[in-house]
Amino acid sequence: MAATPLTSSGLDLSWLDLYDEPASATPGKKGLTLKEINLGRYGDAARGKGDMTTRMRGAISRPGAQRFGPNYQSKADVWSENCIMLYEEATQRQWSSARDIPWDTLEELPDELERAMCQLCTMLTEVEFIAGDVPGQWMPFVSAQDFEAGLFLMSQIMDEARHTDVFRKRALANGGGLLAQGAGLGLRTLIEARDFTEMSVLMHVQAEGFVQSMFRMGELIGQTDADKRIFRMSAQDESRHLAFGVMHLKYVLDTEPERREELHHYLDKAEGDAAGGGSGDVTFPPVFESLCILLGGGPDKFDEGLQKFLLLRKRQINEYLHRLEVAGLGDRRQRVGPLFAQFVDPV
Amino acid sequence: MSTSEALAKAQVVAEVPQEARDKARQLGWEDGLIESALAKGFSLQEVWQALRGNVTGDQAKQFLAGGQMVRPEFKWMKVPTEWGIKARASDPELGLAIGDLNVGTYGDIPDVWYNRTEIARGSYPNPVNEDMGYTIFEKAIVWADCCVPLYEEAIRDRWISATDLPWASLEPLADDIERAVCQVMTEQSDRAYFEGALLSGWLPEISYGYLELKLFLSTVIYDVARHAEAFRKRALANGGGLGLQAPTDYMRSAQEARSYPELINILFVQDSTLLTLFKNGELFAQNQLERDLYALCAKDRQRMMDYQVERLKHYLFKHPERREEQNLYFNKGENRLAKDWTDPVVNEPLAILLGGGKGNIDEGMKKLRAFRKLQVQDYVDALAKATFYRTNLNGRLAEYLAD
Ligand SMILES: [Fe+2]
Ligand SMILES: [Fe+2]
């Protein structure tokens, strides 16, 4: 198509003839969502071969379109059957750390409890920071053919920004401050992943799963209504991230069963050789100790706190194995790493 | 039975991770001490916590012989960070904003950030850490003060394409008009999605010193994701479909950027011209839904431009010696965008919408020229606001201005 001077003499207008399949999506109960427009030749089922240009799925290829660098060519590499629903859910369930947390109800806590909460928040605001970088790192490799997966990841980046900010806000809102950096949290592993599915199983399923199990114990960890609400709201977001990961893993195992051993291999590395608790490691002493104080209700009740901490670990590991089972990796139970194995419930 | 007892029971000859053995050796635990702790009913987890807490071999041995338990020292409670912060909402309407946290040392946003880890700004650094691989450690490269309030404003002003637009109100349009709308939507959807993916890829480059900027960029990414799907929804909702993919020249130039200043300056060109387009969306809109859609996108894009202008101004102030160099990036961005603008599949749909139909396209083309002039003028004005005066504006763009 030639460049045209802006007069009718050079008109092209051939693009007017491209529409062979009229699309008239109508809004459903939740408005006009991605599900309603996932139709005909525009739907994910009609995805053709990969495309290294910026062409969104269903748009007509432009002759001469340039490539933008390598990205995943096969749908299974990034797809999750629930990403369409999860993106829309994310848009419906955005919340505001500024307004949706009852900050004015925060009450002064005994010094050690405030310090323990601030230490936990210091670790979490660090972890959540990486949780935004990691999907960011992979966005350029997600083809616009699978744009719903990309939209979901971009909603996750927003969610993680909110988590990063809400834990910082909590640390600085009740007479405390940030405390010790949570180095050694195993976060490098997430950045080191060299495959999308590797990243997803390590981050979405394992790390965010562990964080989720912890947030779900937020009623026990949080000392104030505001704290509990922070954990509840964040858990709502994490459940989407987890759901994406579990269903992505399932999609890979269903469509590319030959990758099973490779995926186990990533988990062998993450659980096995390292003795720690995986990414977002709660066994890091400042985190472990602050959790024991919060769960016990004070440093004098450290032993009670320790029992609850062990319960938390047990929950983390068993929920993790359950999620893997849902994804089709139930055999993980037999080969889980030693520090995890001690917590596994008998079937 | 306590959880730890239950755990210990469940633990048939646990395999001890090599990392735990290595750590034990480092702390002077003699061989077999881990096993004897396990045999006494302690869980592997507890042994690991003792190792991570640097319990020495002697201490462990004494404890296992019935001596005093080594209590954690809670060293993290005593780290010398600033304590006693009670941030409060300065604007109760907006709630507790990230800007309200920037008090005392927590508000120090340093000109250069030296920590190579993911440490939260203001927390106490570990002495030895792995490098996380960030590449941006200088405030002048990324920062604009406005990113702090803009983050919370973006959250306050978020909208939902599925429910905030009156989809049920759409009525059939003449074929040529509907297809023109669909072609514009197809192009804008490609452009928005691409910008989101591109900016996402830059997040891992930026260090924690500039946290608020990363938070703000996350809202921009989420905004353009929404634009991408909203445009697509419009294309598929009224009897049309997707048209030809967007031209790739301009987007490739952004993809090719080797540094953040280059990236963001190339994006400046389109961020500005698209803001003008959406701000004047009523000229192109065929119905209320499209008017709303353009207006909402304009509001989002205004935040991006506020950031763009302030960042560039700040950057040029801090780096006068790099002022000339920036022209190269603007040259490139302008050149490629001007090329995209010569594409009939970019122009003709806009001209049909401006003219009111295919039959009126000549009139539409005239209006489009006038509109391009407005876009270029706004762009040049935005640069001037940033104290950047283009002496060598792209010739094609300059032609519009001369009209
Ligand atoms: Fe999170
Ligand atoms: Fe998450």
B35-87 tens-digit pLDDT? 999 888 888 888 888 888 889 999 999 888 887 667 788 999 999 999 999 99
| Contact residues on chain B for A158, CB-CB shorter than 8 A | 218-219, 221-222
| Closest CA–CA distance from residue A257 to any residue of chain B (Å) | 29
The CATH number of residue B237's host domain is: 1.10.620.20
**CB atoms closer than 10 angstroms to residue B78:** 12
Q: Indicate left, alpha or beta for B32 from its phi (over 0: left) and psi (-120 to 50: alpha).
A: left
Distances (CA, A) of A175 to A126, A170, A312, B81, B271: 20, 10, 28, 13, 41
| Closest CA–CA distance from residue B387 to any residue of chain A (Å) | 31
Considering the domain boundaries, does residue A113 fall inside one? Answer: yes
Chain pair A-B, CB pairs under 8 angstroms: 435
B217 and B364, same domain (yes or no): yes
B71 and B202, same domain (yes or no): no
Helices B260-279 and B361-385: angle between axes, nearest 10 degrees = 130
Q: Which residue of B has its CA nearest to A336?
A: B15
> Under an 8 A CB cutoff, do A1 and B343 touch?
yes
Instruction: Determine the pLDDT at residue B210.
Output: 98
0.80 exceeded by the pTM?
A: yes
Instruction: Determine the pLDDT at residue B1.
Output: 52
Neighbours of ion ligand 2 (CB under 5 A): A 131, 208, 238, 241
When CB atoms are compared, the residue of B3, B77, B161 closest to A310 is B3
Instruction: Determine the pLDDT at residue B43.
Output: 83
CA A65 to chain centre: 33
Would you call A289 an interface residue with chain B, using a CB distance cutoff of 8 Å? yes
Mean pLDDT of B330-343: 97
Q: Is residue B267 within 8 Å of residue B254, measured between CB atoms?
A: yes
Q: How many whole angstroms from B387 Cα to the centroid of ligand 1? A: 39
**pLDDT tens-digit map of B110-134:** 999 999 999 999 999 988 888 999 9
Instruction: Determine the pLDDT at residue A3.
Output: 39
Instruction: Determine the pLDDT at residue A276.
Output: 53
Instruction: Determine the pLDDT at residue A337.
Output: 84
Q: Which two tokens stand for residue A158?
A: 């927003």
Considering the domain boundaries, does residue A1 fall inside one? Answer: no
Instruction: Determine the pLDDT at residue B376.
Output: 98
| Contact residues on chain B for A6, CB-CB shorter than 8 A | 347, 351, 365-366, 368-369
Q: Give residue B332's domain range.
A: 139-402
Would you call A342 an interface residue with chain B, using a CB distance cutoff of 8 Å? yes
Q: Which two tokens stand for residue A171?
A: 């640390």
Show which of B57, B76, B95 is a domain's final residue. B76
Would you call A82 an interface residue with chain B, using a CB distance cutoff of 8 Å? no
**Percent over 70 (pLDDT), chain B:** 96
A60 φ, ψ to 5°? Answer: -75, 135
B339 and B244, same domain (yes or no): yes
- Alpha-carbon span B187 to B195, nearest angstrom: 12
**Pick from A98, A185, A160: which is nearest to B200 by CA?**
A160
Q: What is the pLDDT along chain A (347 residues), one digit of tens a residue?
A: 333 444 445 789 999 999 888 999 999 999 999 999 999 999 999 998 889 999 999 999 999 999 999 999 999 999 999 999 999 999 999 999 999 999 999 999 999 999 999 999 999 999 999 999 999 999 999 999 999 999 999 999 999 999 999 999 999 999 999 999 986 667 888 999 999 999 999 999 999 999 999 999 999 999 999 999 999 999 999 999 999 999 999 999 999 999 999 999 999 888 865 555 555 577 888 999 999 999 999 999 999 999 999 999 999 999 999 999 999 999 999 988 888 888 899 87
Considering the domain boundaries, does residue B104 fall inside one? Answer: no
- Alpha-carbon span B14 to B41, nearest angstrom: 12
DSSP string, B158-217: ---HHHHS-GGG-----HHHHHHHHHHHHHHHHHHHHHHHHHHHHGGGB-GGGHHHHHHH
- Alpha-carbon span B150 to B153, nearest angstrom: 5
Q: Which ligand is nearest to the CA of A163?
A: 1
Q: Is residue B278 within 8 Å of residue B302, measured between CB atoms?
A: no
Q: Residues near A5 by Cβ (< 8 Å), separated by ≥ 6?
A: none
Mean pLDDT of B78-106: 97
Would you call A74 an interface residue with chain B, using a CB distance cutoff of 8 Å? no
**Pick from B238, B171, B187, B178: which is nearest to B358 by CA?**
B178
Show which of B27, B58, B76 is a domain's final residue. B76
Considering the domain boundaries, does residue B206 fall inside one? Answer: yes
| Contact residues on chain A for B254, CB-CB shorter than 8 A | none
Q: Residues near B73 by Cβ (< 8 Å), separated by ≥ 6?
A: none
| Contact residues on chain B for A84, CB-CB shorter than 8 A | none
Under DSSP, the state recorded for B287 is S
| Contact residues on chain A for B166, CB-CB shorter than 8 A | none
Q: Is residue A104 within 8 Å of residue A164, measured between CB atoms?
A: no
Show which of B26, B47, B76 is a domain's final residue. B76
**pLDDT tens-digit map of B163-215:** 999 999 999 999 999 999 999 999 999 999 999 999 999 999 999 999 999 99
B172 and B42, same domain (yes or no): no
B10 and B147, same domain (yes or no): no
| Contact residues on chain A for B238, CB-CB shorter than 8 A | 24
CB burial class (10 A; 0-12, 13-18, 19+) of residue A301?
middle
> Under an 8 A CB cutoff, do B349 and A15 touch?
yes
**What letter represents residue A99's amino acid?**
R
Considering the domain boundaries, does residue A35 fall inside one? Answer: no
The CATH number of residue A107's host domain is: 1.10.620.20
- Alpha-carbon span B233 to B306, nearest angstrom: 28
Considering the domain boundaries, does residue B108 fall inside one? Answer: no
Residue of A281 and B321 predicted with greater confidence = B321
Q: Give residue A119's domain range.
A: 75-341
Q: Assign A60 to helix, strand or coil.
A: strand
Residue B391 has pLDDT above 90, yes or no: no
> Under an 8 A CB cutoff, do A59 and B242 touch?
yes
Instruction: Determine the pLDDT at residue A280.
Output: 58
> Under an 8 A CB cutoff, do A161 and B214 touch?
yes
Considering the domain boundaries, does residue A33 fall inside one? Answer: no
B36 and B165, same domain (yes or no): no
> Under an 8 A CB cutoff, do A119 and B126 touch?
no
| Contact residues on chain B for A284, CB-CB shorter than 8 A | 52
Q: Dihedral angle at the C-alpha atoms of A309, A315, A320, A325, nearest 10 degrees?
A: 160
Q: Residues near A63 by Cβ (< 8 Å), separated by ≥ 6?
A: none
